[in-house]
Amino acid sequence: MPEFFINGQKVAAEKGQTVMQAALAAGFYIPYFCWHPHLSVAGNCRVCVVEVEGEGGGSSWTDIACNMPVSEGMRVLTDSETVREQRRQILQFILLNHPVDCGICDKAGECMLQDHHYTYNGEPSISTVPKVRATKYHPLSERIVLDNERCIVCSRCVRFTREVSKSHGLAIQHRGDHSLVRAAEDGAFEADPYSDNVVDICPVGALLSRSFLHKARVWYLQATPSVCPGCARGCTVNLWHRKRDWQLNRLDPGQNTEIARVTPLANPAVNGPWICNKGRDLARIFERPRAGEPLLKSRPVTLLQATSAARGLIAESARPVALVSNWGSNEELAAFKRALGSRFTCFVKRDHLPAADEPVEDDLLIRADKNPNSATAHELFGEAPIAFPDRTDLVLVWGEGVDFASLPRGARVILLGSYLAPENGHADVFVPISIQTERAGHYTNFAGVASRFERCFAKQPGIADAEEFFGQLAVTAGAT
Ligand code: SF4
Ligand code: SF4
């Protein structure tokens, strides 16, 4: 374990670490653009330059921290006058042709170039000739556009497609100030199910998500920690939505309860720093038209009436069966087990199957099971395939994925669902329930790791929380 000195302070490094890795691990700040902890070292932006003091009074020298291995006893300065001057010159070079259009750039507020520029430079471009113009809003794919004038050619995006997603979908064309990031002509980037990660790792506002383009300034948004329910990996994510202080009253108040964007919430035990594109599109899952009214055979009733009718059906039933949702949280599944587990014959159903256009499984993150909590559902309710016992007279269907034609003839049906669907009106009792963004809880992923999601939005009146609802039905179960 080599020991060395950063700004005069002794630091113990791991064997094989670079100065950048050891410094960050020890809490010292070194700026960077092209370096990324999960990508190979490119060493092209040079902004992580540090000074190494000469041994025995010898002259000092500068080098980039991302590519310099730690050696025993070396003395590194991360913020000397020489270092600051070199960083200033590097920033001048990077900004020579940069459009500095922060006022309309989605990255403003999160941009490493803004931060480093104001820390080390702060001056306008020193170019005496017109800036080199390049493509604005070049369509890299259906999901991503590229502003080449903002690109600092750090190559993070290119390395991501080579080293992480392995689509080899991006490359750099031409050289010098004519360099352009471009997508491979074979459509590999378009087909890359992890492509949107390049938007996060682009240190400037060059790569832009079409779904978030000019949608909101990031300082109007807050991130709520959550879990992607798109497959059994259960990637941890941040759901970005409008801050309470910046709610819109007259101008499109619908935005107040919308998911503006989804980004990864780094988690070494589950997904590292990445998510797949399905995770980015959670708004498409959560923002489907909602079911807002409890129904008795398609007739709108109050939640109290629907609960009472459900209790009546359970009390009358001789052979009730429950089809349990693997989109239920650990807390909801446990509540069901506690309240009704001994009253019902229970089977776990798959709420979602792979869609025709989605990747089924791969070696990086994506799992074939497109549901977030099969692990806990199977642990509590077993793995038996659904088989209705003879004379089943009541089926409680919790969640999606059930074809009503497959239910036993004549059996009464209690349905708990969140979205508008034709089946809602066919059930004897339909109870609308909250979705993940309206409650907190945990999912346990395929590897047994439990992750917590927090509430983003309030649920509407008339909508039940499944956990609470099961507790109300328990009274009936106990009485039989
Ligand atoms: S588009 Fe962004 S990530 Fe890619 S090379 Fe340019 S600055 Fe780097
Ligand atoms: S890999 Fe699965 S859990 Fe992770 S973001 Fe994609 S769909 Fe969601």
Average pLDDT of every residue of the chain: 96
* Cβ–Cβ < 8 Å for 258, 394: no
Q: Which ligand is located closest to the Cα atom of residue 271?
A: 2
CATH class of the domain whose range is 218-286: mainly beta
- Residue 57 — left, alpha, or beta (φ > 0 → left; ψ -120 to 50 → alpha)? left
The pLDDT of residue 384 is above 50: yes
Give the C-alpha separation, 341 to 335, whole Å. 9
Does the domain at residues 295-479 carry the CATH identifier 1.10.274.10?
no
Report how far ligand 1's centroid is from the alpha carbon of 16 (Å).
Answer: 28
Q: Provide the pLDDT for residue 139.
A: 97
Report how far ligand 2's centroid is from the alpha carbon of 450 (Å).
Answer: 15
Residue 210, SS3 per DSSP: coil
Cα Rg, the chain, nearest whole Å = 28
Mean pLDDT for the stretch of residues 252-280: 96
Structure tokens at 330: 């650990």
Cβ partners under 8 Å of residue 442, min gap 6: 227, 329, 330, 331, 450, 451, 452, 453
Q: What is the CATH number of domain 102-209?
A: 3.30.70.20
* Cβ–Cβ < 8 Å for 373, 330: yes
pLDDT digits (tens, 9 = 90+) for 44-82: 999 999 999 988 878 999 999 999 999 999 999 999 999
Distance in Å from the first CA to the final CA of the chain: 68
Q: Provide the pLDDT for residue 102.
A: 94
| Residue 202 Cβ < 6 Å to ligand 1 | yes
Q: Provide the pLDDT for residue 474.
A: 82
Which residue ranges have their beta carbon within 6 Å of ligand 2?
Answer: 228, 230-231, 233-235, 271, 275-276, 278-279, 365-366
pTM more than 0.85: yes
Helix (H) or strand (E) holding 321: strand 320-325
Q: Which ligand is located closest to the Cα atom of residue 277?
A: 2
Q: Provide the pLDDT for residue 6.
A: 98
Report how far ligand 2's centroid is from the alpha carbon of 368 (Å).
Answer: 10
Sign of the dihedral through C-alpha 229, 142, 259, 454: positive
The pLDDT of residue 476 is above 60: no
Ligand 2 atom at minimal distance to the Cα of residue 364:
1
Sign of the dihedral through C-alpha 272, 276, 279, 283: positive
Structure tokens at 390: 């003879």
pLDDT digits (tens, 9 = 90+) for 194-239: 999 999 999 999 999 999 999 999 999 999 999 999 999 999 999 9
Domain ranges of the chain: 3-94, 102-209, 218-286, 295-479
| Residue 152 Cβ < 6 Å to ligand 1 | yes
Give the C-alpha separation, 346 to 378, whole Å. 10
Residue ranges of E strands in 210-260: 221-227, 236-242
Report how far ligand 1's centroid is from the alpha carbon of 300 (Å).
Answer: 54
Does the domain at residues 3-94 carry the CATH identifier 3.40.980.10?
no
**Whose C-alpha lies nearest to ligand 1, atom 3?**
202
| Residue 339 Cβ < 6 Å to ligand 1 | no
**Whose C-alpha lies nearest to ligand 2, atom 7?**
230
Give the C-alpha separation, 51 to 61, whole Å. 6
Q: Provide the pLDDT for residue 270.
A: 98
Percent of the chain with pLDDT over 90: 94
**Whose C-alpha lies nearest to ligand 1, atom 8?**
154
* Cβ–Cβ < 8 Å for 159, 200: no
Report how far ligand 1's centroid is from the alpha carbon of 93 (Å).
Answer: 16
Give the C-alpha separation, 131 to 134, whole Å. 9
Q: Provide the pLDDT for residue 197.
A: 98
Helix (H) or strand (E) holding 20: helix 19-25
Strands 394-398, 320-325: pairing kind = parallel
Q: Provide the pLDDT for residue 475.
A: 61
